[in-house]
Amino acid sequence: MPKTPAYNWQDIPARTPRAGITQRGFRGDNVLVTHNLLAPGMEPNPHSHPFEQVFMLLEGRVKLHIGDEVHDCGPGTVLRIPPDVVHWAEPPRPEDGIAVNVDIFSPVRDDYLPLVEYQHKAT
């Protein structure tokens, strides 16, 4: 039986997809998860994609736009973002500091495969 490697988010290689965001990823066969640090002053990026997304805020505060809705998110907030709906997070306020969120995507995002290449190299 193959060994299942365990990882810690802090040990996973990070990337900065745009100013103010540090992102790490992990994937399974049918799901991809990202761990994101959102800094005050990050660049907002309204976008949509064909993937279902679950947004979970672990620390900090952000306003999350999903279509015409705006959600004031604090620690523990969990939201579903349907496929093809425009969404984005406003940067955290300086007094709130860095926000930490986890995003879950299904199916696996092909454009995020470079983010999880370390897993392929480990097997």
Give percent of the chain with pLDDT exceeding 90: 93
Asked whether residue 7 is domain-assigned, the answer is no
Alpha helices in the chain (DSSP H): 117-122
Indicate whether 90 belongs to any domain. yes
User: What global pTM score does this model have?
Assistant: 0.93
Domain residue limits at 81: 14-122
Query: Given pLDDT bands bounded at 50, 70 and 90, which one contains residue 123?
Result: low
Helix (H) or strand (E) holding 105: strand 99-106
In a domain, 1, yes or no: no
On whether residue 8 sits in a domain, the answer given is: no
3-class secondary-structure state, position 54: strand
What backbone torsions phi and psi does residue 101 show, to the nearest 5 degrees?
A: -135, 160
Residue range 104-114: average pLDDT? 96
State the total domains in the chain. Answer: 1
Question: Is the pLDDT confidence value at 27 over 70?
Answer: yes
- Residue 101, domain member (yes or no): yes
| Residue 1 banded pLDDT, cuts 50, 70, 90 | very low
Residue 9 falls inside a structural domain: no
CATH of the domain at 90: 2.60.120.10
Residue-averaged pLDDT of the chain? 95
**Residues pairing with 53 in the sheet:** 81, 105
pLDDT score for 91 = 96
Number of Cβ within a 10 Å radius of residue 49: 15
Residue 43 β-bridge partners: none
Specify whether the backbone of 67 is left (phi greater than 0), alpha (psi in -120 to 50) or beta: left
88, part of any domain: yes
State phi, psi for 112 to the nearest 5 degrees.
-100, 0
**Does residue 5 fall inside a structural domain?**
no
